[in-house]
Chain A
Amino acid sequence: MDAPRCPPMIHARLRLPRPGFTLDVDLRLPGHGVTAVFGPSGCGKTSLLRALAGLERAQGRVALLDGGPEGPEGPRGPDGQSEDVWQDDALGAWRPVHQRPLGLVTQDAGLLPHLSVRDNLAFGRRRSATGLSPAALDEWIAHLGLGGLLDRRPHTLSGGERQRVAIARALATGPRLLLMDEPLAALDAARKADVLPLLEQLAARLPLPVLYVTHAMDEVARLARHLVLMEQGRVVAEGPLTEVLTRPGLAPRLGAREDTGVVLEGRVAGQAPEDGLVRVACPGGELWVGVRAGAGLAAPVRVRVLARDVSVTLSAHADTSILNVLPVQLEAIEAEGTTWLLRLRLDGPGSDAPACLLARITRRSGETLGLHTGQRLYAQLKGAALM
Chain B
Amino acid sequence: MSPDTWSAIALTARLAAWSTACLLLLGTPLAWALARGRGAWKPVVGALVALPLVLPPTVLGFYLLLLLGPQGPGGQLTAALGLGRLPFTFAGLVVASVLYSLPFVVQPLQQAFEAIPESVLEAAATLRAGPLDRFLHVALPLARPGFLTAAVLAFAHTVGEFGVVLMIGGNIPGQTRVLSVALYDQVEAGDFGAAHQLAGGLLLFSLALLLSLQWLRRRGGPAAAAGAGAGVI
Contact = CB atoms under 8 A, between A and B. Distances in A.
B117 to A, nearest CB: 8
B25 to A, nearest CB: 22
Interface residues of A, number: 25
A96 B120 contact: no
B230 interface: no
Given A127-B129, A127-B133, A55 B123 contact: no
A111 interface: yes
A112 B128 contact: no
Contacts of A112: 120, 123-124, 138
B116 to A, nearest CB: 9
A114 B127 contact: no
Interface string A109-127: 0111110000000011001
B141 interface: yes
B128 A114 contact: no
Interface residues of B, number: 16
Interface stretch (A97-105, A233-241, A335-343): A97-105
Given A113-B142, A114-B142, A127-B133, A55 B120 contact: no
Contacts of A108: 119
B128 A124 contact: yes
A12 interface: no
Interface of A: 53, 55, 96-100, 102-104, 106, 108, 110-114, 123-124, 127-128, 166, 169-170, 173
Given A53-B126, A106-B119, A114-B138, 20 more contacts: A55-B125, A96-B125, A97-B122, A98-B127, A98-B128, A102-B126, A104-B123, A106-B123, A108-B119, A110-B122, A113-B120, A113-B223, A114-B141, A114-B142, A123-B129, A124-B126, A124-B128, A128-B128, A166-B123, A170-B126
Interface of B: 119-120, 122-130, 133, 138, 141-142, 223
23 contacts: A96-B130, A97-B126, A98-B125, A98-B126, A98-B127, A98-B129, A99-B128, A103-B126, A104-B123, A104-B126, A108-B119, A110-B122, A112-B124, A112-B138, A113-B223, A123-B127, A123-B129, A124-B127, A127-B127, A128-B127, A169-B127, A170-B126, A173-B127
